[in-house]
Every structure is written in C-alpha cells, then in structure tokens.
Structure 1
Amino acid sequence: MIFSWRNKRAARHAAKNEKLELISNMELKIPSHFRCPISLDLMRDPVTLSTGITYDRDSIEKWIEAGNNTCPITNQFLTNLDPVPNHTLRMMIQDWCVEKRSYGIERIPTPRIPISLYEVSEILSRIQAAKEQEDGEGCKEVVLKINALAKESDRNKRCILSQGTSGVLAATFEAFSKVPFDRNVGLLEEILSTLTTLMLPLDGDAKPYLGSNSSLHCLVWFLKNGNLSGRRNSVLALLHIFSSDQQKIDDLSEIGGAIEALLNLIKEPISPSTTNASLKLMYHIVSKSSSSANSEIIARLAKMGLVQMLLEMLVDCEKSICEKALGVLDEICRCDEGREKAYGNALTMPVLVKKLLRVSDLATQFSVSILWKLGKNEKCEGGHVLTEALQLGAFQKLLLLLQVGCADRTKEKASELLKLMNLYRDRAECIDSLDFKNIKRPF
C-alpha cells in the first residue's frame, strides 16, 4: 500500500514537471498596446497624455521632470502636463495577467492615486495648526501620514518635497523642542526620522531651524539618550547642519555631553553608515572649530581615548571608514596631546605604514601626513618613531610613492620624511619590502 501511494505521488510530480516544462518552452507574447512606448515593459499604471498617447506613469513622469514638454511619440506640445489615469486599459492588463497566471505572470496591483499638490498643502496646514495649538499627538499623526505617503512612491516623495515640507517639519521640530521633552519625545523622534531618511539633503529653509539652540540641545539629547535609530538620525542631522556652518560646530562643543555622546557612537558602533557619519562629524569638530577652542577639544578627546579607538578601528575596517578614521587621527596629531597618545600606542606605526599605498590615495595622503607630524615633532632622542617606521618598511614605500606620483603637499612631506629617516638607516635593520604585489597601484 505504501509503495502504491509513493508511485502515485511520483506520477503526479512527473506530470506537474512535464506541464511546467511545456509552459516554459512556450513563448508568451505581451500585447503591444499593453507595453509602455518608452520602457517597452508591461504597464503597471497606464496614464494618457493630452495627445491621446498612453504611457506607464513612472516613465512619462521622468520624461516630463527632465524638462520635456512634448509627447515622446507624436512630438506635439503638451497642453496639460498632468497625465490622466487610463482605468480601462489598466483593468484589461489586470485581466490579461489573471488569464496568464499559469505562465508565472502575477496580477499587477491597482495603483494608489498619487498625492496632489493641494493635498500636500492641506497636510502642511494641519501641521502648522497643530504646532500653534501645541498639539503634539495631532501633529505626530500628520507626520506619520507624510512618512507613509512619501514611502508609497517616488512621485509622492517628489511632490511632498517640492512644497517645502522639510522646512515645515524642521520648524515644527524647533517649536516642540522648546517644551519639556517627556511630552513630545515621540513626535520629535518621528520628525527627525522623516527628515533624515526621506528628505536629505535638507533645503536652505530647514537648516536654520535644526541649527537653533533649542534644536541642537534636543539633537544632543537624542544622541545621548535615544534608541539606536534616534542616535543614528541625530548624527545624520548634525552632520548635515555642520558641514556648511562652522559656527554651529562651536555651539555643539559647548553643549554638555555632546562630545562624549559622539565618542560613544564611535566606541560602540551601531552600523557602518552611523560610524561613517560619526567619524565625519568628528572630523568637522576637530578641524573646523575655532582656534581658541580647538586645542582644548582635541586634548579632551585624547584623554577620553579617541586615539586608541581610531587605531584599533584601523586594524581591520572598510575603505570609507579607514579614510575618515585616518582623517580624524591626522587632525588630532596636530596637537601635543594627540601626538603623545599616538607615541605611546604600539599600534601606531604598524597601522600607519600598513595603510600606505594599500587603501586609497586619500588614505595614503593622511598616513603620510600623520607620519610626518609624528616624526618631525618627536622630542625624545634616538628617533624611536622613525626607527620603527624604518624597520616596518616605510622607507621603501615612501620611495615608491614618489615614483608613482602623489599630490604636491604629500610629496613634500614624504621627501622630508625620507630625509629624517635617512639619519637612522645605519642604526636600523630595514625589512626588504621589494615585493609589492599586494599594493594597489594607481597605474
């Protein structure tokens, strides 16, 4: 009985496989009037222009947004740039998909009606009214709706952004950041998430609101106390603000716990994108803050162990993170406190010499700059830093760098390093580094 059941099951499977093979060998032809004249693919949301020609919405909207005001087929000028949904053709396409489901064709879903400029204007008016009434819950409900609509389609997102939504949301963030956090944390977190995940880069109207004193304190609060997404979003927002406003960097440095919170993100990374943003923000802080505060900030960071964190990160990290970590380390080594920490770490020379000519031109540039600062400013007798660099093969790599070419400033530093190292070549046994097969050459 068992054998009989197995035989029947095998026969059913064989028949099914034979049917599928027969279907796959048949050529399925899509009716020509179901195809978009631009993409030549099956239309999912057919719309008709004022010329009477039907296209897939995504294709024709990209054509119009590129600055074209003519019909791609007839080349006639469009009297109306708003395409009209062709419901009849869409239902015909859906019925055809159902008939051909045995070929693996799935029925296209009924598209949602795109949001209009009027609807966006109405939504922004509701946010403005909720802000004036200090209605946090009502405002959060509208922000969630904007988030959902923007995620539905790129067309919705473009329409929402075109009405200055990021500026309205940033103004709302500032307004609610001035009242106690415990009443509006959910709203502020939702606004921050919408701005950083859907609306970057922010327009000029949004930056002043997010860069205000109350907004900065709120962003630092999320940086210290927020959940993982809140901390990530706050770093992205701060980076976008400070990349073009040096004064705001000084303002951030004066907020208690801001530097420490950023350092914790580097020490305990959340994701590669967050680490990248944190390192980039840290670079802005150590390189662009005012001269009077720069040395103090670097000294604080050095005492908090940033040099060691960066060196440990550089042992094994991806290209983007490597470049940013070397950039931060290069800036820290401008000050005595930063160099002292680098001198005292056993990883410094091995890591820096290893990165020469191996990661990218930018990483090599930073590595040469750091070696130059450490070698030139070494105060102890005997040239221990330069001697160690010689033993690790830095002399040969710098010679090769000059041969393959580099930026003028890097060339000057490399040449000066070679002169400094040459004084200690008779005291150090250099490693033969003639085998450069693993080095990424630019030629």
Structure 2
Amino acid sequence: MVRDDLVITVPSFFKCPISLDVMKSPVSLCTGVTYDRASIQTWLDNGNNTCPATMQPLQTKDFTPNHTLQRLIQIWESHSSNPSLLSQQLALKLIQSLTQPSPDSRLNSLTQLAHFLQHPDPESSDKNRELLVNAGSIPVLFGLLSGHGQSLELSRAVVRVLSLVLSDSENVRKKLKSDSVSIDSKPYLMILQSGDVDASTDAATVLEALISCRSDISAVTECEDLVSELIRLTSSATDARPICAGISCLVAIATRRRMRSQIVRLGAVPVIGRLLAGSDSGEVAEKVLKLLETLSTCSEGRAAICEDPAVVPAVVQKMRKVSQAATERAVVVLWSVCHLFRDGRAQEAVAKGNGLTKILLVMQSECSPAARQMCSDLVKIFRVNSKSCLSSYDTKTTHIMPF
C-alpha cells in the first residue's frame, strides 16, 4: 500500500517479499513464508521451483491462505487510511508543497489539509489547526490566494482551508493580526460571483476574520462589487450557514463608519428585513439585528429602515424572542428610528405591533443601563398613545410607567 503523500509507515510483515507492496491476498508456502497471491503465482508460473525469500526447493507448490494476516492488514488499512492527527513533518511538507508551481500538487496538498482540519474528532481537528498555524501556514495560504492568475478551483480550495483554520479560534485570529498576509479582493469576488454557495460561504468567513483582525484592508472593504455579492449571498441562500456568514461579513465591513451608507445604498436593509421577518433561526435573527443596529447609526440607515414597511414590525416581533443581546439590539434600532429620527411611520409600526408592551417588559428585565435608558426614552415618545398601546398590557408592570 503506497501512501507516501500521507507519510504512512507500513509494517514490514504486511509487505509481499516479491512486490514490496501491502498484500491484498496473503498466502503461505510450505516453507512458512507468506506472499501476495498474485506475486507468488506469477513466480511459480514462470517455472521457478524455489521459495523466493529463502531459495529453498519447494516440496509442493500448493499454498495456504493466511486469513489471520489478511484480517490484520484490513484492520490496519481501515485506521491508516483515515489518520486523524498531522505530524509536524507532514504539516511542513504540505505547506512547502503549496509554494511549488504545480497546480495539481497544490490542490492535492490543500485537499489533505482540509481532511485533517475537518476531522470528525474536534480534539484532533483543533490540534491540527494549531500545528498548521504554528508552522506558518497562514501567510502561505493568503499569499497563494492573492497570486496572479489563480484558477477558480484553486481559490475555492484555499478559502476552504482558510475558513477551517480561522474558524472559532481567538488564538488563530491573534496570529492573523501579527502575520504579514497579502490582501486582494479579486479572489474573494471571483468566488462570490461563481454562484457556488459553499465556496462563497467559506470566502465570506475568511473575509470576516480578515476584516475583524486587520485595519489595512481598504482594498477589500471599499470594493462595492464585493459588498453587492455579500448582499446577494444573504438574499439567495436558503440555509442558515451562508446567510450568517454573509451577514457577519457585512457587519465587519460596517464597523468602518464610512462604509455604512454604501451598504445601505446597495440595498442591504430590505434584504435583511425580509430575513428577519421570515427566518425561524435565532442565529440569523441575532446577526440581522446586529447589522441593523450598526446601520441605524447613520442617517441613511435610519431612513432605509423607516421606508421599508416590513423592517420595524419584524424588529418588534423578534424582541424578547431570541436572546438578551438580540433584544437590546432591537431596542437600539427602535430608539434610533423612533426617538432619534422621530419617524412617524416607525412609531406607528411599533404601536401597532404592541411594541410598547415589549419595551416595558425589557425595562423590567436585567438589561443594561443604556438599554433601560433607551426604553425610557421610547416610553415617553408613546405617552400620548398610552391607552391604546397598553389596552392589552398586563398590569403587573404598570408600576414602572411614568404617567
């Protein structure tokens, strides 16, 4: 069994003395030496009357199947064909092969790296990730991704490995901050435009990590086509993973204040508003509310939220249904459009959705002081409509009403 690519050591007694390969059907001669059936049969058919290993004359050319050895080989193959842990030697070999000019060699190495990084055993995959990071894989992978003339297939393979390396690891992201990596928007845009949802998800994941860790990435964050493709990914995907990856990347881009109006202008608000209203995923709702909170800090974002008739009702609907963090983000959005922006359409939507009741409940909960103050500001906004807004409100919380 030749597995040089994974540097697997084959036990010597599993090898046929003639072919030197792992035996598929081991049989024993009368001398007690075991060979692979095909190899020894060829030896005998060629007129030889001796044991190839000992050169003893054969009393008989009959051989006996060695079932015990065959079973041992099968057990060994089942384990060795799916190794879980990278050795340092193999990690360095695979990383070095990524710098070679051969596209086939690079793809083969990337496939092996992905295998080790997505192993079903979390402990093994974590150890492999740490080993690869410490072995210097991150600069090599980013350098390969930003190389000129790279094929779409190779770019997909690189972002697959990078997304696995960078996933859920603060230590890895700290390493990313200090490493010198090449940054170019073109490969990510090419992948996002390809329509491959899995590859696009990986690209968005890598972009989000890169944007969150680095400040010198204006070439990426200010690429309008890239933002448009991320919005398209969130609007066209049906599974939570690509949607969350796209929104998380948009949130990372929106941390650059000057980018918020561009994200709004490219139509993000209606898209994420529909997601918020129609998704049952708590993870999606939380990420959408985080993006809406960020966009509501700019005037263009507040205007877009108010102009879309579905957004504010969806925010009210999701209040107190996802998590404490999501609830407070919803409060920020409502405070921005109802109190800060003073938009009548938003105020009416909150009133119709029994939003004041939920705001009062948030005030009673263990929310942050900032969220409680925003709730208080919102209550004052709705004072004139308090009777109609509170017609169905449980009196257990009326003691906090300031009127």
Q: Judge same fold: TM > 0.5, yes or no.
A: yes
Q: Give me the whole-angstrom Cα distance separating, in 2, the residues matched to 1:305 and 1:227.
A: 22
2:142 is aligned, of 174, 187, 191, to 174
1:195 is aligned, of 153, 158, 162, to 162
Q: Give me the whole-angstrom Cα distance separating, in 2, the residues matched to 1:359 and 1:153.
A: 29
- Is the partner of 2:389 in helix, strand or coil? coil
Residue aligning to 2:228? 260
Q: Deviations over 1:341-367 (max 9, x none)?
A: 222222233222222223221221111
Give TM-score, length-normalised by structure 1.
0.62
Pairwise mapping of residues 25-424 of structure 1 onto structure 2 (< 5 A)? Answer: 110-112=78-80, 120-122=88-90, 124-125=92-93, 127-128=95-96, 131=99, 133-148=100-115, 154=121, 157=125, 160-164=128-132, 168-181=136-149, 183-197=150-164, 200=167, 201=169, 202=172, 204-205=174-175, 211-214=181-184, 216-225=185-194, 227-248=196-217, 250-269=218-237, 271-286=239-254, 288-289=255-256, 291=257, 293=258, 297-317=259-279, 318-378=281-341, 383-424=344-385
- 1:433, distance to aligned residue in structure 2 (A): 2.8
Question: Measured at CA, do residues 254 and 347 of structure 1 come closer, stay the same or move farther in structure 2, by a change above 3 Å?
Answer: closer
- 1:417, distance to aligned residue in structure 2 (A): 0.7
- 1:179, distance to aligned residue in structure 2 (A): 4.0
Q: Give me the whole-angstrom Cα distance separating, in 1, the residues matched to 2:359 and 2:118.
A: 51
Q: Give me the whole-angstrom Cα distance separating, in 1, the residues matched to 2:132 and 2:76.
A: 33
Which consecutive unaligned segments of at least 5 residues does structure 2 have?
1-67, 396-403
Q: Give me the whole-angstrom Cα distance separating, in 2, the residues matched to 1:167 and 1:327.
A: 35
RMSD, matched Cα: 3.5
Aligned residues of 1:391 and 1:431 also touching (Cα < 8 A): no
Q: Give me the whole-angstrom Cα distance separating, in 2, the residues matched to 1:264 and 1:210.
A: 31
Q: Deviations over 1:410-442 (max 9, x none)?
A: 00000011112114447xx33633369xxxxxx
Equivalent pairs counted in the alignment come to: 320
Residue aligning to 2:31? none
Q: Deviations over 1:125-170 (max 9, x none)?
A: 3642561x42222222233234445566747646644543686443
Q: Match of 1:238, as an amino acid?
A: L
Which consecutive unaligned segments of at least 5 residues does structure 1 have?
1-90, 96-106, 437-443
Question: Measured at CA, do residues 156 and 410 of structure 1 come closer, stay the same or move farther in structure 2, by a change above 3 Å?
Answer: closer
Q: Give me the whole-angstrom Cα distance separating, in 2, the residues matched to 1:334 and 1:159.
A: 41
Q: Deviations over 1:197-248 (max 9, x none)?
A: 466334655566685223x432232222362221111111112222333443
Q: Give me the whole-angstrom Cα distance separating, in 2, the residues matched to 1:355 and 1:422.
A: 23
Q: Give me the whole-angstrom Cα distance separating, in 1, the residues matched to 2:173 and 2:349.
A: 50
Give TM-score, length-normalised by structure 2.
0.68
- Larger deviation, residues 194-203 vs 309-318: 194-203
